Amino acid sequence: ILLIVGMGGALLALLGSFYASGRALSPIKRSWERQRQFVGDASHELRTPLAVIQSNLDIVLTHAHEGVIDNLEWLNNAKAEARRLTRLTEDLLTLARADSTMTPLRSERVDLRAIAENVHDAYAIYAESKDIQFLLEPSPDDAVVTGDADRLHQLFVILLDNAIKYTQEGGRITLKVEVTKGTIVIIVEDTGIGIEKGEQSLVFERFFRSDVARERESGGLGLGLSIAKWIVEAHRGRISVDSELGVGTTFRVVLPRAAGAHQAQAVQQTDR
């Protein structure tokens, strides 16, 4: 009997380890599948601008005897696609590095109010040129997180770039940075084209672009928000979207406040 119980135990342990290794393998398999999909989608996206550059340069070469001035249109097309290609490769590199955790994030005190003001200064004129009003709500001076200033700046740029891209003339964009006891909340609100309810959970996926966005031909690549999501999660935060088609979109980022930031404020308050 002891032998049978012992063998039963050993069999159970063996089954347990099979089960455990099966469970441990499936996330690896899933991640491998995701990588395969990513490489496939990326190659597809890289092929289009390359084909456009090649065909435009072919035209220039067959009309070479006409000189540069007569070929400007084709050369400009090739240049615009080369610019798109540069942006695409930069985004792909960022995501590939994020996947392999090769991108070390700096850990410094970052003042989000300063970034918001800087980005507002840089984008207000651009928005105005498209007849879009860009408002920055006053934020408190203790909107401090611990993280990587360059990446957080990139996060603001991605959200504002989209807000401008997907808002029509006469629209309005509002940027807010709010401080709660333990968090900093960044809110980017626009009165643009909006996102269908069913598509809202997909916008953070790599290469996703909604049909309405594609119709606008704004040259987006569908990678910005996946980079934004990576930046937010690398700072232990959350990003969410709330939108109504034809009415507007609000992106909300919640980040943990820098350690010491609210203790310092609490000390100030008890001093008063």
- For position 87 contacting ligand ADP by CB under 6 A, the verdict is no
DSSP string, 48-69: HHHHHHHHHHHHHHHTGGG-SG
Contact assessment for residue 123 and residue 135, using Cβ atoms and an 8 Å cutoff? no
Contact assessment for residue 177 and residue 186, using Cβ atoms and an 8 Å cutoff? yes
Beta bridge partners of 134: 173
Give least dist CB 38 to ligand ADP, A. 14
Rg (CA), the chain: 25
Residue count, binding to ligand ADP (CB under 6 A): 21
Query: Judged by CB under 6 A, which of 213, 239, 254, 261 binds ligand ADP?
Result: 213
Give least dist CB 6 to ligand ADP, A. 58
Eight-class DSSP state of 144: E
By C-beta, is 148 or 190 nearer to ligand ADP? Answer: 190
Tokens 């006891």 correspond to what residue? 181
Give least dist CB 86 to ligand ADP, A. 14
27's tokens: 């996330």
Binding to ligand ADP by CB under 6 A, coded x per residue (else -) over 242-271, reads -------x----------------------
Phi, psi of 181 (to 5 degrees): -55, -50
Query: Judged by CB under 6 A, which of 175, 184, 225, 261 binds ligand ADP?
Result: 225
By C-beta, is 112 or 163 nearer to ligand ADP? Answer: 163
- For position 163 contacting ligand ADP by CB under 6 A, the verdict is yes
Binding site for ligand ADP (CB under 6 A): 162-163, 166, 190, 192-195, 203, 208-210, 213, 220-226, 249
